Amino acid sequence: MGTVEIRPAPHVRGERTVEKIMLNVVWSLLPICAFYVFQYGVSALASITVVTGACLLTERWLVRTGTQAGNIGDYSATITGLLLALTLPPGFPLWMGAIAGFVAIGLGKGLFGGLGFNVFNPALVGRAFAQAAFPTAIATYTPSFLPGRFTEFIPSSLAWPLMIPADAALWLKAKHLDALAGATPLAKWKFDGVMVGANELVTSLSGHMAVGPSPLLILLCGSYLALRRYLDWRIPMSILGGAAVVAWALFAFNPTHYPNPFFMLFSGGLILGAVYMATDMATSPVTPRGMWLYGGLIGLLTVVIRYYSGLPEGVMYAILIANAATPLIERITQPTPFGKSALAARRGASYPLNPSYISREDAGAVTPKKRILKNKPKRDERRTPTH
């Protein structure tokens, strides 16, 4: 027997590391990416490669300057890149994709201090920037399963840097496809009043439709992660539940004006956002009740933005707003510590242990030093007349 060591919890250390979790997420994303490439061909492959490459290069550059936590080997930038590429249209110009990747890591993560410090989901920050900077290109979708997609690029993806991409609508016309084929199901519903069938939405297998990766596949890969506890099932459940409840209530209120809840759930990026974006560990609440609140907020906001704003899709902004609300949600959903009355807890008790019990240095944490201004002029000097 060795010496007895007295120390605070946690006493049991798991095998789980950041790298392992991230690597598992990457593995679970690969089938989705493969199917996406199968849907859209070489353009999608190029887009995924360039966006992920831009994210990794930015991460490497920022880590090398020594101001950012994490490193390129923890696969978090890979996840950001893959997710960002999946949210962009397949024919998105590659140079814009590279900029979106750079912004995602630089502005979304690096500026906040790196892995674990970011407030917003980096991939969505990149996409929001791209949406604000290039609103036309990001709304230009092309149908999936086009003939010759493995040999021919979508012309818009090969635009010269800083130049306007080629018109995808003209290219589609040359292929004898009508302009409506290039609209996403949500845009079709919002601007043309056309709704696509449930079957096509879930599998994304039917041809000539501008859809993202298949929701069914995302749910499958997501359930693998949830079963292995790499993501918390409460968040996707509450997002989908929240969106379904709101959409169902509106549908019941006026079935001719509002689409059915099923369409709401399976169109656009809601499933991808719910499973992969909103569950980002750094930007979602840690308290179980907070997760329900957070997910419900995202679901509600998504439906509200889709119905009542000028944009066809609202998942991105819903998640970003909920990310911003995460600290507040955590604050109001603190669980009651064992032995404490619920009333006292509600009155503003803090859940973490008394700070004196925790040896922060033991856990490898560094207390930030108080910053002192060096060249602060002394008051006397300023007042004294010099002549």
Q: Which residues in this chain contact other proteins in the complex, by CB under 8 A?
A: 93, 96, 107, 129, 132-135, 137, 159-160, 162-165, 382, 385-387
Cα-based torsion angle of the residue sequence 302, 306, 311, 314 in order, rounded to the nearest 10 degrees: 10
- Helix 215-227 to helix 18-40 angle (10° resolution) is 170
Rounded distance, CA 69 to CA 112, Å? 10
CA distance 221 to 31: 8
Nearer Cβ to other proteins (62/297): 62
Smallest distance from other proteins to CB 89, Å: 15
Quote the least distance from Cβ 21 to other proteins, whole Å: 31
Smallest gap from residue 59 Cβ to other proteins (A): 17
Q: How far is the CB of 112 from other proteins (least distance, A)?
A: 13
Q: Which is nearer to other proteins, 1 or 163 (CB)?
A: 163
Nearer to other proteins, 107 or 277 (CB): 107
Least Å from the CB of residue 135 to other proteins: 6
Closest CB to other proteins among residues 258, 317: 317
Contact 305, 273 (CB under 8 A): no
Cβ count within 10 A of residue 304: 15
Q: Which is nearer to other proteins, 134 or 189 (CB)?
A: 134
Q: Which is nearer to other proteins, 121 or 284 (CB)?
A: 121
Nearest to 352 by CA among 295, 286, 289: 286
Helix axes 42-64, 18-40, angle to 10 degrees: 150
What is the token pair recorded at 164?
């306007």
Q: Least CB distance from residue 218 to other proteins, whole Å?
A: 29
**Which of left, alpha, beta for 143 (phi over 0: left; psi -120 to 50: alpha)?**
beta
